[in-house]
């Protein structure tokens, strides 16, 4: 039996061939090394994300999250729900806290769930994958399966917003969380702890609808990483990853910059340090190749 078991909420972007599929592949790799068993919540649905507010409103958004909770409660009793996407984690956890805080809301939600023959009892515990790694395994525990050191790699830890605010990971500060840096150091890499854009918002969904405005943010995020001598950026969030990686070419075109900064997930770094191949780490999924990491993986 696996050492730890969780009810897994992959979220839309981490599905196969979705924009964060590389996140999923590498997460599976590290779970194997750490002896974690993730079981997908049967027939899970989208959380509605932050931008769902406009059309979705309050109760429908909470109800669809509660549907996932109800499924987990029934089929994977006693297991914490773990999300890899910051936005999923946030929507789910926010829904959970609202439901915990109001009997009336829970009642209305269950009225809605009843339409599909479901019921939520109120016992969900929603966590982010990083939380699980840091709190349940600890930095020392994360070191255990290491086969290679990421020695010499200079990495800027870009935390973004939603893995950080309003809930935060492991009680860390909102303005200067250190956990990504600590993870990088655990893996033997060089964490650029003075990187000052680590919690700057990339624009989130507005990178899509208001590209001009968000690209200024993204430019700052990448530029500062260069200023600190970073060779790559690491993130815990699929939307952050996508926004910061994908728009670099756009910014280059419009503003004449020469950005070519790889943006990887912590799970990809870990996979490589745990001896996984470039394929296990889904490094083929990068738009901007993380060559230095590939090289270590090939060693």
Partner 1 sequence: MTTANTNAIERYRNNFLKEVEANVEEGHMVKMCMQCGVCAGSCPLGPAWQHSPQKIFMMIRAGKRDEVLGSDSMFMCTSCYNCMVRCPRQLPITHIMHGLANYAHRLGLAPKGQPTRDFATLFWNNAIKKGRVNELMLTLRHYFRGGLVSGIKEALGMQSVGLGLFMAKRLNPMEIFGGHGVKDLKGFHAIIAKAKEIEDRKKGFTA
Partner 2 sequence: MTASIATNQAILVVGGGISGMTAALEAAECGKQVILVEKTPVLGGRTARLYRYFPKMCHPTCGLEINLRRIKQNRNIRLMTMTEVTAVAGSRGNYSVTLKVSPRFVNENCTACGKCGEAVTTEVSNPWNYGLDKMKAAYLPHNMAHPQRFVIDPSIVGTPEGEKAKAACPVGAVDLDMKEESVTLQVGAVIYATGWRPYDAAKIQPYGYGRYRNVITSLEFERLADPQGPTGGKILRPGDGKEAKNVAFIQCAGSRDENHLRHCSRICCMASLKQTQYVREAFGDAGKSTVYYIDIRAIDRFEDFYQMVQKDATVSFVKSKVAKIVENAENGNPVLHGVDTEGYHRYAVEHDLVVLAVGMEPEITGVKLPDDVILDSSNFIEGSKDGGMFGAGAASSPLDVNRAVQSATAASLHAIQVIRKTASTEAA
Q: Distance (Å, rounded) from C-alpha 22 to C-alpha 89?
A: 18
Measured from the CB atom, the residue of 233 and 237 that comes closer to ligand SF4 is 237
Binding residues for ligand SF4, rule: CB under 6 A, are: 11-13, 46-47, 49, 85-88, 160-162, 201-202, 204, 237, 239-240, 243
Between residue 8 and residue 67, which ones bind partner 1 under the rule CB under 8 A?
12-13, 15-22, 43-46, 48-60, 62-64, 67
| DSSP string over 49-76 | TGGGHHHH-HHHHHHHHHHHHHHHHHHS
Which residues, including other chains, have CB under 8 Å from residue 144's CB and lie 6 or more apart? none
Q: Distance (Å, rounded) from C-alpha 277 to C-alpha 271?
A: 8
Helices (H), the chain: 21-34, 53-56, 58-75, 86-101, 103-114, 129-131, 138-143, 179-186, 206-209, 211-227, 238-246, 248-255, 266-273, 291-298
Between residue 109 and residue 138, which ones bind partner 1 under the rule CB under 8 A?
109, 111-118
Question: Which residue of 157, 177, 204, 236 would you call a contact of partner 1, by CB under 8 A?
Answer: 204
Measured from the CB atom, the residue of 15 and 149 that comes closer to partner 1 is 15
Least Å from the CB of residue 4 to partner 1 = 26
Neighbours of 35 (CB within 10 A): 11
| DSSP string over 215-266 | HHHHHHHHHHHHHTT-SEEEES-HHHHHHHHHTHHHHHHHH-------EEEH
**Residue 109 interacting entry, from ligand SF4, partner 2, partner 1, none, C-beta within 5 to 8 Å by type:** partner 1
Measured from the CB atom, the residue of 273 and 282 that comes closer to ligand SF4 is 282
Between residue 74 and residue 103, which ones bind partner 1 under the rule CB under 8 A?
none
Measured from the CB atom, the residue of 41 and 278 that comes closer to ligand SF4 is 41
SS3 37: strand
Candidate ranges 48-56, 128-136, 145-153, 174-182; the one touching partner 2 (CB under 8 A): 174-182
> Which DSSP category does 155 fall into?
E
**Residue 86 interacting entry, from ligand SF4, partner 2, partner 1, none, C-beta within 5 to 8 Å by type:** ligand SF4
Kindly list the strands in the beta sheet with 190-191, ordered across the sheet, starting from the edge strand earlier in the chain: 190-191, 154-157, 232-235, 263-265
Query: Contact 48/65 with Cβ under 8 angstroms?
Result: yes
97 belongs to the binding site for partner 2 (CB under 8 A)? no
Query: What φ, ψ does residue 9 adopt, rounded to 5°?
Result: -115, 95
**Residue 56 interacting entry, from partner 2, ligand SF4, partner 1, none, C-beta within 5 to 8 Å by type:** partner 1
**# residues contacting partner 2 (CB under 8 A):** 5
Least Å from the CB of residue 197 to ligand SF4 = 10
Query: Contact 77/121 with Cβ under 8 angstroms?
Result: no
Residues that bind partner 1 (CB under 8 A): 12-13, 15-22, 43-46, 48-60, 62-64, 67, 108-109, 111-118, 161-162, 165-166, 174, 200-201, 203-206, 208-210, 213-214, 217, 246-247, 249-250, 253, 284-287
Residues that bind partner 2 (CB under 8 A): 173-176, 196
């Amino acid at each position: 039996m696996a050492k730890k078991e969780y009810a897994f909420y992959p979220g839309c972007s981490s599905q196969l061939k979705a924009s964060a599929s590389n996140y999923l592949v590498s997460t599976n790799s590290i779970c194997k090394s750490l002896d974690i068993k993730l079981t997908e919540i049967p027939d899970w649905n989208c959380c509605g994300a932050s931008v769902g507010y406009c059309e979705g409103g309050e109760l429908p958004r909470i109800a669809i999250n509660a549907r996932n909770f109800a499924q987990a409660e029934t089929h994977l009793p006693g297991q914490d729900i773990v999300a890899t996407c910051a936005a999923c984690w946030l929507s789910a956890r926010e829904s959970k806290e609202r439901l915990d805080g109001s009997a009336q809301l829970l009642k209305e939600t269950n009225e809605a769930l009843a339409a599909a023959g479901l019921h939520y009892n109120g016992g969900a515990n929603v966590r982010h994958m990083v939380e699980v790694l840091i709190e349940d395994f600890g930095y020392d525990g994360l070191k255990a399966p290491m086969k290679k050191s990421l020695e010499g790699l200079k990495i800027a830890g870009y935390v973004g917003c939603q893995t950080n605010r309003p809930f935060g990971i492991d009680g860390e500060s909102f303005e200067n969380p250190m956990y990504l840096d600590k993870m990088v150091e655990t893996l033997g890499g060089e964490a650029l702890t003075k990187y000052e854009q680590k919690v700057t918002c990339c624009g989130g969904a507005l990178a899509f609808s208001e590209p001009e405005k968000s690209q200024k943010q993204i430019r700052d995020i990448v530029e500062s990483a260069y200023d600190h001598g970073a060779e790559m950026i690491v993130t815990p969030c699929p939307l952050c990853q996508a926004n910061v990686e994908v728009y670099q070419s756009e910014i280059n075109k419009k503003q004449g910059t020469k950005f070519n900064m790889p943006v990887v997930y912590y799970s990809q770094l870990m996979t490589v340090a745990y001896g996984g191949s470039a394929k296990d780490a889904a490094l083929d999924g990068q738009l901007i190749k993380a060559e230095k990491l590939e090289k270590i993986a090939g060693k």
